[in-house]
Amino acid sequence: MKLTVETGRRSFWDMAQGSLFSWVNENIFQRRTFSRFCSLLDNYNPDEGCKEVVSSEERQEQASFIEEISRTAPVKYLHKYLSSKGISENYQNFESMMTSLWFDLYGRGGTSGSSSAFEHVFVGEIKQCGEEEVSGFHNWLQFYLEEDKGRVDYHGYIFPRRRGQIPDSDTQLLTIQFEWNGILKSVSSTLVGVSPEFEIALYTLCFYMGGEDNHIQLGPYPVNIKCCRLGDKIGSAFPVADC
């Protein structure tokens, strides 16, 4: 299967030996939330046990991203809803809360300060315990950019058990297998074509108002948004097609 992404239109055909993306309309990277999101992707060491060092420039990139997405409809809705539930009523406090939730470092793989919610969910990490494997990495933009650089080897898609059919031009929820820098991710699910602000808002809402399993309807898709906690932080968040 290959994937073409324009501005909301996708095309598929079965060619698992090739790449997932045949073409993406790169005008999307001129959108401010997209460009600020992409500027964050190279800020992390992928080794799960490696302590992260965050520069002042990287902190500014984090602040700029949160500030930018806070102007968008999905995140404004998120704030309005959380405020109605008594969570972070002040907007300035809300932005600080979002920055802390997504970018504060915590321990993973036995090393303190080695991971964050943003790194795990959107960038991806390499587990070093036992056999190496990819952990996290649930974002389509990161996949496209890494595939374009030759770092991702797409293996193919997994049939949705509920539908039992090949993805078509309207498909936006994919379950795939791939290698990243030669290391396998045996099963990974992702929402394709969505904006960074949509995913951030969705996962944040599930973290504060839901549980580990959050069964929702996204357009035509019954989806379980898995939201795993590490204390008071997001350990992982990703979509799973409900069967």
Cα separation, 160 vs 196, whole angstroms:
24
Q: At what angle do helices 196-209 and 73-84 cross, to 10 degrees?
A: 10
Q: How many CB atoms lie within 10 A of CB 62?
A: 22
Only one residue has tokens 């409900």, namely: 242
Q: Is 120 a catalytic residue?
A: yes
Known active-site residue 185: yes
* DSSP secondary structure of the chain: -EEEESSS-EEEE--TTS-SEEEE-GGGGGSHHHHHHHHHTTS---BTTSPP---HHHHHHHHHHHHHHTTSHHHHHHHHHHHHTTS--SHHHHHHHHHHHHH--EEETTEEEEE-HHIIIII-EEE-SSS-EEE---BHHHHHHHHHTT-EEEEEE---TTT-S---TT--EEEEEEEETTEEEEEEEEESS--HHHHHHHHHHHHHH--SEEEEEETTEEEEEEEEEETTEEEEEEEEE--
The single residue of 2, 80, 120, 149 carrying the catalytic annotation is: 120
79, 185, 226, 233: the catalytic one is 185
List the catalytic residue out of 79, 138, 226, 233: 138
Active site residue 79: no
Give catalytic residues, as residue numbers.
120, 138, 185
